[in-house]
Amino acid sequence: MSSKVYFLLLVWWSTVLIKPTILQAQQDTTTIPEIVTISYEEAKARMIKENLQLLAARYDINMSEAQAVQAKLWNNPYLIWNQAAYSVEKNDYFNFTRQALIQIEQVFSIAGKHTNSVKLSKLNVEMSKLALEDVMRSLLLELGNSYASLNALQEQDTLYGTVLNNVNQLITASEQQQRTGALAGNEVVRLRSELISIQTQALQNRNEMEQAMSELRILLNLPSTTFIQTTEAVKVVESLQPLQDLIALALESRPDYKLSNRSIAYESRNLKLQKSISVPDIKFAYQPFDRGSNYVRPYEGFNIEAPIPIFDRNQGRIQESKVKIKQAKSNNLLIENKVTNETTTAYYQLINTQRGIENYSTQFIQQLEELNVNANTNYNRRNISILEFIDQQRIYVQTKIQQIQLMNQYNQSVNQLNFSVGREIF
């Protein structure tokens, strides 16, 4: 359905289904929605570019890269200048010919502390990128489901519009027959009752459509006044790989599983860092000038400083790092089990939904459409009663709604399998 046609249908809905107040009518004239017709591929491209959650996750990578740059830097040297400010003997201030000391100090990390810090920061960058991939995977699932739901709701909206238009025409014709005495008044009442029932269902569908559209606008970072028109409906799965192949592909592709593997490497590297921290740093100092020395004036010499690791040898953090390695390995096994079960469940859900779709063959849908057309014709010719007409009309609407919802469930099953595997295989 084109955007112009859908916009005309939207205006028609507002006149048929909704009784706006004067204030609402004034608001509708000042706020004109922008209609955007977008395919799923176009929506995905826009989300990757404009989604605010993705933009925030990319900043995490930038921050981890900045931390990696910082970890590569060496300690800055110290410059110490000691100058006598006042002499009691001479009663003078800031005499630079008297006692003065200049010293340059540099702290050196040993036992691989600097190397381990750099490698740990690089692992942190890798994990940030994997976290971004996992956010992308979750957003693609949310986008696919929201798009499929909105598409199904818009199809139902079109169906309700067609049925309501048909019932309105029947009511108009029945009222004319009632005026001539050719039709009982209770039949017109029954038709109006059926009209109200369908209008109520259509309004509920419209509210759900607005909710789905709101979720999609947030994902695509679109203004709140944008009316989104979807295009294609069904993803086609021509062939389904064996379950074990999909599980193996999931363990190879899932960013959350790869992230858990890198967590083990991260904690192992952190243990090495904590052990290197237990070895104290050494400070080397050089005094090129010391006018106040008691040994010889001026004095020139070296200075070496290092703490003695008697009490604090970083024992607590080393023990904590060992426990974190065990924790990371347990989480890795948990996620592996999660990947296997999620892939298996999504696989069989897709198969079950495919079997359900097979019930709606082309021949059956054609017969259903013919039943609906014949119901209108036969009622106008008085070949069937109003109860039979309403029954056939309800069967038609119910079956079409079930078909649309099943196709939506099929799309979401495909999205769930892609999410479980960790890549778009369909």
* pLDDT at residue 2 tops 80: no
Residues 238 and 360 in one domain: yes
CATH code where residue 60 lies: 1.20.1600.10
Residues 390 and 304 in one domain: no
* pLDDT at residue 181 tops 70: yes
Please give the pLDDT value at position 1: 45
Please give the pLDDT value at position 186: 82
pLDDT in tens, 257-297: 999 999 999 999 999 999 999 999 999 998 887 776 655 66
* Domain endpoint, select from 311, 330, 360: 311
* Domain endpoint, select from 311, 331, 364: 311
Whether 306 is in a domain gets the answer yes
Q: How far is CA 74 from the centre of its chain?
A: 39
* Domain endpoint, select from 311, 333, 355: 311
pTM over the 0.75 mark: yes
Residues 357 and 345 in one domain: yes
Cα gap 347→345, rounded to integer Å: 5
Residues 198 and 57 in one domain: yes
Residues 265 and 370 in one domain: yes
* pLDDT at residue 21 tops 50: no
Cα gap 77→386, rounded to integer Å: 96
Task: State the first-to-last Cα distance of the chain, in angstroms, to the nearest integer.
Answer: 25
Residues 211 and 319 in one domain: yes
Q: Which domain holds residue 17?
A: 3-73+109-278+314-421
User: How many structural domains are present in the chain?
Assistant: 2
Residues 234 and 383 in one domain: yes
Q: How confident is the model at residue 383 (pLDDT cuts 50, 70, 90)?
A: confident
Residues 176 and 221 in one domain: yes
pLDDT in tens, 226-251: 999 999 766 777 788 999 999 999 99
Residues 93 and 229 in one domain: no
Residue with the bigger pLDDT between 319 and 373: it is 319
Whether 183 is in a domain gets the answer yes
Q: What is the number of alpha carbons within 13 Å of residue 375 lying toward its C-beta?
A: 22
Whether 237 is in a domain gets the answer yes
pLDDT in tens, 332-368: 999 999 999 999 999 999 999 999 998 999 999 999 9
* pLDDT at residue 256 tops 60: yes
Counting residues of the chain whose pLDDT is more than 90, the rounded percentage is: 65
Q: Do the beta carbons of residue 219 and residue 47 sit within 8 Å?
A: yes
* pLDDT at residue 38 tops 90: yes
Residues 32 and 144 in one domain: yes
Residues 260 and 349 in one domain: yes
* pLDDT at residue 4 tops 50: no
- Beta-carbon contacts of 171 under 8 Å, excluding residues fewer than 6 positions away, are 188, 191, 192, 195
Q: How confident is the model at residue 178 (pLDDT cuts 50, 70, 90)?
A: confident
Please give the pLDDT value at position 426: 82
Residues 173 and 92 in one domain: no
Three-point CA angle 399, 402, 408, nearest 5°: 145
Whether 426 is in a domain gets the answer no
